Structure 1
Amino acid sequence: MDQTTLLTFIAATFVLAGFVKGVIGLGLPTIAVGVLGVVMAPAQAAALLVIPNLVTNSWQLAGPKLKAIAIRLWPMLAGTCVGTWAGAGLLEKAKDGSATLWLGIALVLYALVGLKAAKLRVPEKTEIWLGPLVGVITGAATAATGVFVLPAVPYLQALGFDKDELVQALGLSFIVSTIALSFGLVGAGALDLKVAGASLLALLPALAGMWFGQAIRQRISAATFKLCFFAGLLALGGYLVVRTLL
């Protein structure tokens, strides 16, 4: 693949990933790491995502309830950092794709449950111990796959946030996860100034896709958003499974 084709492929990937994130609040790293894995190592793809992840998730934070959400989620976020740092280097070592396969399978199962309208709920009194546990497991999974999804996304969805609060909560969680993962990537040598410059360039197509996706989200109902959310998870999970097996 020549340089021009490669750059076009990367730009198109970030437009698509940004669009999905704009609609359902997540999917940027899942799609980008998965698609870019065709032309580069997972650790390189994750490094390229650092700045787009930070900026698009910061954009996603806008809303009046951010402080309350941060106070509620801090136990999970602390656990995420611990799990990610404990698993530092797993992404660089993961060559057989097994972690990504199991992540995809779990996403598919969770999406199918959600599409059947099963309502998961986390009792408020359990959050103080369940949050850190979810965070540690999610952090370890993020360190192994470069994707922050499980079990944090089902946990956040089960907290009873409305659609805009859920998007804010996801954005905050992704920012913390990205920062934690960045330290591991730097330590593994996958993230340096040259890669950071390329990551900055990748921000433009990601923002373009996200802007369009958000415009659509603002025009759909809560029920439609829920359908899009779980359908998006199903598609992402199915994609990860197929990509790993092929």
Structure 2
Amino acid sequence: MSEYFVIILLMTFFAAGVVKGLTGMGLPTVAIGILSLFIALPAAAAMIIIPSFVTNFWQLFTGPSTSRLLKKLWPLVFCIIPGTFVGSFALVSARPEWAVFGLGLALISYALYALIAPAVLLSQKTQRWLGPLTGIVTGIITGATGVSTIPSVPYIQSLSLEKDELVQALGLSFTVSAVAMAAALAVHGSFAAGELTSSCVAIVPSLLGMWLGQKVRNRISTASFRKGFLIFLILLGTELVMRPFM
């Protein structure tokens, strides 16, 4: 890695960690979105694996409801795994500019949904069939773009969870997505020594950023920060979508 890229890597994962500390999510979304401006999308997806796993594993097991959430969300998280393997074929085989185009669409779709969609509460009956379907679709999008927020985040937000449970449930979903993505990239030979080294280097700035984000969470308007973050994702996604036509 060049010194220039190391600086970009450290700054990117520190910023992504701050976002995750403030909102409970966003590290892979921010990191892969920025890194894809400088490197190929499969390499960027590989670099987020370890910091994503570490931060989400921490998030998952720092709450009080791990076993209950596992019982409630196992259909969702189990189905993420095969979906990720299916989607990963598109990530490694598509032309680079169109892989980035797909990432841009995923970022824009998530941000627009989060900004304008009304709150929805799902019945137990609906959860029984929608959970596995959401897991499959989330896995496919994760495998194809490296972004694991759509549609798992809207689904989890519709389950009437308490604030701490919601953050913990997101950690569970993202942890499984990170493990599945690592396995899929390894199968395709896209998780090589270089990406593994960069991914390990990114752990420290990610954790520092997450710690800082958690510290300042109660000192700023989370709603205002979230809105600005989503607008940033729309702008970043638009740049990525436009790239094949430039």
TM beyond 0.5: yes
Give how far 1:83 is off.
0.7
Q: Structure 2 unaligned runs (5+)?
A: none
The answer for the alignment partner of 2:110 in structure 1 is 107
Q: CA separation in 1, counterparts of 2:230 and 2:166? A: 15
Percent of counterpart pairs with the same letter?
A: 38
Distance 1:52 1:146, change over 3 A: same
Residue number in structure 1 paired with 2:188: 188
CA distance in 1, matches of 2:112, 2:77: 24
After superposition, residues 205-244 of structure 1 pair within 5 angstroms as 205-217=205-217, 219=218, 224-225=221-222, 228-229=225-226, 231-244=228-241
CA distance in structure 2 between the aligned counterparts of 1:47 and 1:242, rounded to whole angstroms: 22
| 1:177 corresponding residue in structure 2 | 177
Root mean square deviation, CA, Å = 1.9
Asked whether 1:159 is paired with 2:156, we answer no
CA distance in structure 2 between the partners assigned to 1:237 and 1:74 by the alignment: 31
Contact in 2 for aligned 1:23/1:214 (Cα 8 Å): yes
Q: Which residue identity does 1:82 align to in structure 2? A: P
Stretch deviating more after TM superposition (167-176 or 102-111): 102-111
Instruction: State the SS of the aligned residue for 2:202.
Output: helix
| Inter-partner Cα distance in structure 2 for 1:163 and 1:229 | 15
1:201 to partner: Cα distance:
1.1
| Partner Cα separation in structure 2 for residue 193 and residue 143 of structure 1 | 20
TM superposition shift of 1:192? 2.5
Give the number of equivalent residue pairs.
239
1:46 aligns with 2:49: no
2:36 paired with 1:33: no
Residue equivalent to 1:58: 57
Deviation at 1:230, TM superposition (A): 5.3
Shift of 1:228: 4.3
In the TM superposition, residue 7 of structure 1 has moved relative to its aligned partner by 0.6
> How far apart, in 2, do the equivalents of 1:55 and 1:220 lie?
25
User: How far apart are the structure 2 equivalents of 1:37 and 1:101?
Assistant: 10
Q: Point out the more displaced range, 61-70 or 187-196.
A: 187-196
Letter in 2 for 1:49: I
Cα deviation, residue 104, structure 1: 2.6
- Give the TM-score, by structure 2 length: 0.90
Aligned partners of 1:153 and 1:19: how far apart in 2? 19
TM-score by length of 1: 0.90
| Equivalent in the alignment of 1:122 | 122
User: How far 1:227 sits from its partner (Å)?
Assistant: 5.5
Asked if structure 2 preserves the Cα contact closer than 8 Å seen for 1:91 and 1:144, the reply is: yes
Q: Which residue of 1 aligns with 2:69?
A: 69
Change (3 A) 1:220 1:68: farther
Residue 104 of structure 1 aligns with an amino acid whose one-letter code is L
The CA deviation at 1:111 is: 2.0
* Cα shift at 1:214: 1.1
> Partner residue of 2:3?
4
Q: Residue 135 of structure 1 aligns to a residue in which SS?
A: helix
Equivalent-residue separation in structure 2 for 1:79 and 1:88 (angstroms):
15
Change (3 A) 1:79 1:231: farther
1:160-194: CA deviation from partner (whole Å, max 9, x where unpaired): 22222111111110110011111111122111344
Counterpart in the other structure of 1:245: 242
- Report the Cα offset of residue 229 of structure 1: 4.2
Q: CA deviation at 1:100?
A: 1.7
What whole-Å deviation, never above 9, does each CA across 1:190-234 have from its counterpart, x for those lacking one?
1134422221111011111110011122x269xx54554455344
1:57 positional shift: 0.6
Shift of the alpha carbon at 1:109? 2.4
Structure 1, gaps ≥5 residues long: none
